[in-house]
Amino acid sequence: MQTPYTVADYLLDRMAGCGIGHLFGVPGDYNLQFLDHVIDHTDVCWVGCANELNAAYAADGYARVAAAGALLTTFGVGELSALNGLAGSYAEYVPVLHIVGAPCSGAQRRGELMHHTLGDGDFQHFYRISQSVTAASAILDEQNACHEIDRVLRAMLSARRPGYLMLPADVAKRPAIPPVNPLIVRSPESSEAVITAFRYHARQRLMNSRRVALLADFLARRFGLQPVLRRWMVETPMAHATLLMGKGLFDEQQSGFVGTYSGGASSKFVRQAIEETDTTICVGTRFVDTLTAGFTQQLAQEQTIEVQPWASRVGKNWFSGLSMEQAVTTLRELCLELSFAPPPRRPGAGEYRVDKGALTQERFWRTVQQFLQPDDIILADQGTAAFGAAALTLPAGAEVLVQPLWGSIGYSLPAAFGAQTACPGRRVMLIAGDGAAQLTIQEIGSMLRDGQAPVILLLNNEGYTVERAIHGASQRYNDIAAWNWTQIPQALSLSSQAECWRVTQAVQLEEVLARLEHPQRLSLIEVVLPKADLPDLLRTVTRALESRNGG
């Protein structure tokens, strides 16, 4: 007897059609019957996580390297645990679908005192909370389910931000008709009048500019502009850079790429290339305090052309309703017509020899630089890891995943699990501090269960080094418990095939990394670093944060 087609099947088919091949989460009694359909689905795989917060981080990491991501939680207790992760996805424009298994519709209508509720008969408390961190949300019933699933998915993919679906247990089992046509997400069309006006003002700006530079960042990647930006830089060589969140957007081996721009904390060469121009074109940038060393960027409004997802600016004039793709296409066409001064030549990096000294932040990052490979996915947690990664020069196809806007420490470890799930054929390198890792370390168990082989560089500097640099260098609130890091994988898997090392010298790290060109199993390297040592960029950032926090 053929199983009837249901709302649960419709939702899973739509997810698969959007490029979501895995569903992260934690089972709970309100989502178990939906999970039966997940297990039976041919194109969407269930990926259980250690907790809901980790599942949200994993779905976020998955979505950053795939089309979109998804997680499943139970009502109330589960969804609130995941909310921090969803807020990070919202802040940083990552499309993640949050499916919440909820009590049956009848129980909700009657206001019954169900478990996982606040005991007041109101089943929409958490739905209302979720609306602050989602592009669209819906409570599904048997009449609206298929329509609302499509609406929320379209809004999520269009805005590149999370969507929320409350799925009552009985609604998941209701009959539905399979989708006939694919879910099409159309970008709003820009009016010809707006395009013409933008082109005119941009041409006037660029015609009078000899020195032009391009600064692009993470929103350009989120909205699919990486291919056109790379072609543009080949066709019209000019100085170009990203902020930290956009690392990997450009081919960093390409002539004209000058490095990572960090406002006043940038090298003199990068500052001059990006700031000392007649016009700097900013595509998808967000000048966050941590990315600009406390808003130290020197880019006057009159000097810049700015492209954002739904509006662009030339000097002081905004052009609303102009799509990002249309604005970039227009600027690329104008640059092909005009000529500018050639980009400055990037200084040579010089040869670095690994010495026999103890590991420091500088020696650590120089050693890591030597062993990066094309197409690596590098995840760096907020703190010394993320700000050290800013100085890396990436090989072709490599990218860096960081979360400096939302800045939730512990994010990167489950995100690495999600990224490896999405891209099993690429090497994943995770760099995280000991304080951050203690928050989400359980997901190493999921990595081992699924046979993943990431390279984990665990930076042991005895606590919250970033916080020490900002305030309270010797206060015990910046201390953490001392863990035996190299024994963690064995504790988290009965059949662990992990390899673990503890290194204190630069040459030791070099020897270990040389063995991991093609890792066959999870590799954890505990990297012992000085307690108060900071990457140069982070030293400047922490001074700015301390000053601003002090008023």
Average pLDDT per 10 consecutive residues for the chain, totaling 551 residues: 86 97 97 96 98 98 97 97 98 98 94 94 96 98 96 97 98 96 87 96 96 97 96 94 96 94 93 96 95 92 96 96 96 94 80 74 94 97 89 95 95 98 98 94 97 96 74 76 92 89 96 96 95 75 71 65
pLDDT, residue 353, reads 65
Cβ within 8 Å of residue 35, ≥6 positions away: 27, 46, 72
Does 29 qualify as catalytic in the annotation? yes
Separation in Å, CA 132 to CA 101, 145, 155: 20, 22, 15
Q: 370 exposed, middle or buried (CB, 10 Å; 0-12, 13-18, 19+)?
A: exposed
Separation in Å, CA 444 to CA 55, 96, 377, 383: 13, 22, 17, 20
Q: Which CATH superfamily is domain 361-550 in?
A: Thiamin diphosphate (ThDP)-binding fold, Pyr/PP domains (3.40.50.970)
In the chain, ranges of CATH 3.40.50.970 domains:
7-173, 361-550
Beta-sheet strands, E only, within 362-498: 377-380, 399-401, 428-433, 455-460
Region at 346 (left for phi over 0; alpha for psi -120 to 50; beta for the rest): beta
Does 546 qualify as catalytic in the annotation? no
CA nearest neighbour of 242 among 352, 404, 368 = 404
Rounded Cα–Cα distance for residues 288 and 242 (Å): 13
From the candidates 170, 251, 399, 434, which is the catalytic residue? 434
pLDDT, residue 538, reads 74
From the candidates 263, 407, 410, 418, which is the catalytic residue? 407
Q: Which CATH class is domain 192-337?
A: alpha beta
Rounded Cα–Cα distance for residues 376 and 386 (Å): 16
Q: Which residues are annotated as a binding site for Mg(2+)?
A: 434, 461, 463
Does 463 qualify as catalytic in the annotation? yes
From the candidates 43, 115, 317, 472, which is the catalytic residue? 115
In the chain, ranges of CATH 3.40.50.1220 domains:
192-337
Does 499 qualify as catalytic in the annotation? no
Separation in Å, CA 393 to CA 252, 365, 399, 419, 525: 6, 11, 10, 21, 22
CA nearest neighbour of 402 among 25, 50, 70, 64 = 64
Region at 385 (left for phi over 0; alpha for psi -120 to 50; beta for the rest): alpha
Rounded Cα–Cα distance for residues 266 and 390 (Å): 10
Retrieve residue 467's tokens: 């916080």
CA nearest neighbour of 483 among 544, 545, 528, 421 = 528
> Percentage of the chain with pLDDT > 90?
83
From the candidates 463, 478, 526, 533, which is the catalytic residue? 463
SS3 assignment, position 349: coil
The residues pairing with 305 across neighbouring beta strands, listed in sequence order, are 281, 314
From the candidates 36, 116, 276, 362, which is the catalytic residue? 116
Q: Which residues are annotated as a binding site?
A: 434, 461, 463
From the candidates 52, 251, 526, 533, which is the catalytic residue? 52
pLDDT, residue 349, reads 62
Rounded Cα–Cα distance for residues 317 and 319 (Å): 7
The span from the first CA to the last CA of the chain, in angstroms, equals: 70
185 close to 251: Cβ distance less than 8 angstroms: no
How many Cβ atoms from other residues are within 10 Å of residue 505's Cβ? 16
pLDDT, residue 318, reads 97
pLDDT tens by residue, 302-330: 999 999 999 999 999 999 999 999 999 99
Separation in Å, CA 72 to CA 58, 61, 165, 245: 12, 15, 10, 27
Does 141 qualify as catalytic in the annotation? no
Rounded Cα–Cα distance for residues 388 and 75 (Å): 39
CA nearest neighbour of 528 among 298, 343, 363 = 363
pLDDT, residue 2, reads 60
pLDDT tens by residue, 475-531: 887 777 889 999 999 999 888 789 999 999 999 999 999 999 999 999 999 999 987
Q: Residue 498 gets which letter from DSSP?
A: -
pLDDT, residue 488, reads 95
Does 467 qualify as catalytic in the annotation? yes
pLDDT, residue 347, reads 81
pLDDT tens by residue, 372-417: 999 999 999 998 888 899 999 999 999 999 999 999 999 999 999 9
Fold of 7-173: Rossmann fold (3.40.50)
pLDDT, residue 350, reads 59
Does 350 qualify as catalytic in the annotation? no
For 28-52, give the DSSP string: -TTTHHHHHHHHH-SS-EEEE-SSH
Rounded Cα–Cα distance for residues 265 and 256 (Å): 20
For 158-194, give the DSSP string: HHTS-EEEEEEHHHHTSB-----S----PPPPPPHHH
Q: Residue 285 gets which letter from DSSP?
A: -
Give a three-class secondary structure readout of 315-339. CCEEEECCCHHHHHHHHHHHHHHCC
pLDDT, residue 467, reads 74
In degrees, to the nearest 5, what angle opens at C-alpha 458 toward C-alphas 376 and 246?
Answer: 40
From the candidates 467, 499, 526, 533, which is the catalytic residue? 467
Q: What sign for the dihedral angle of Cα 333, 334, 339, 342?
A: negative
Beta-sheet strands, E only, within 237-376: 239-242, 257-260, 279-283, 304-308, 311-314, 317-320
pLDDT, residue 474, reads 73
Q: Say which amino acid occupies 299.
A: L
Helix axes 77-91, 52-65, angle to 10 degrees: 30
